[in-house]
Amino acid sequence: MPYDRWHKSHPKAGESACREHRKVPTAGHGVGKRWQARWRNREGIQQTELFRIEAEARRHETKMLSGVDDGSYIDPRAGEVRVSELALTWLKGHEHKNPCRYRRHKERVQLHIIPTAVGKMRVKDVKPSSLLNWLHDRRRLLESSTLPLVFENLRAIFDLAVDDSLIPKNPCLAKSVQYAKPKRGDGGRAELTLT
């Protein structure tokens, strides 16, 4: 059950209640978000997140506890890493496989992922709509043979995020993104398939 940060759960006899809520206030009464969701992660360490509304805190707490119970738990703070940082980690993993292929991966990632709006976002904040905007911008800049390769690099970076339990699913695999997924064309600027 969410914890009310603004009011004492065990007030002492004779303490005055606040007029608005008719409960005994804490030192932090009226400051910040009132409701704190609490749960223990898979390692048994208590985690918390603040909410303005009790119902939101309760929903979040229930979701987190369910995730711990069924093994699907993902720490809400895990996806704080920027896409650009994760992209560099992904590149390091490919550095020694095939030097020629690695150079192409590195060039695509450094030119078309890291400096973009998506590259600057936190991994957990990237939504399918973010990727559709990214595709639209890249489509105007890249040849039809290059965009699918850059997209595959981005998809692989988000696969790493899923494998590292930073996010529950890869936004590149969303239906709306797959619908607009780039394919290799016959020259010119990239065309987006409508499959």
pLDDT, one tens digit per residue, over 58-103 is: 998 888 888 787 777 777 777 889 999 999 999 998 887 788 889 9
pLDDT score, position 64: 82
- Are 121 and 83 contacting, i.e. CB atoms less than 8 angstroms apart? yes
pLDDT of residue 193: 41
Can you give the pLDDT at residue 113?
A: 96
For 46, half-sphere exposure in the C-beta direction (CA atoms, 13 angstrom radius) is 4
Q: What is the pLDDT of residues 128-154, one digit of tens each?
A: 999 999 999 998 888 888 899 999 999
Secondary structure of residue 104 in the 3-state scheme: helix
Q: How far is CA 119 from the centre of its chain?
A: 12
Closest CA to 164 of 116, 127, 123: 123
Residue 164 has pLDDT above 80, yes or no: yes
CA 29/CA 51 separation, integer angstroms: 14
Residue ranges covered by each domain of the chain:
3-73, 79-192
| Contact predicate 64/70, CB 8 Å | no
Distances, alpha carbon 79 to alpha carbons 57, 62, 137, 168, 171, in Å: 20, 20, 24, 10, 13
CA distance linking residue 65 with residue 178, whole number of Å? 32
In the predicted model, is pLDDT for residue 192 greater than 60?
Answer: no
Residue 185 pLDDT: 57
CATH number 1.10.150.130 given to 79-192 = yes
| 9-18, 40-49, 127-136, 182-191: range with highest mean pLDDT | 127-136
Which is more confident, 122 or 77? 122
- Selected residue with higher pLDDT from 116 and 165: 116
pLDDT band at 188 (very low <50, low <70, confident <90, very high): very low
pLDDT band, residue 184 (cuts 50/70/90) = low
Residues 152-168, mean pLDDT to the nearest whole number: 93
Q: What is the reported pLDDT for 56?
A: 95
Of residues 107, 42, 45, the one with CA closest to residue 74: 42
Q: For residue 39, what are its two tokens?
A: 């749960």
pLDDT (0 to 100) of residue 179: 85
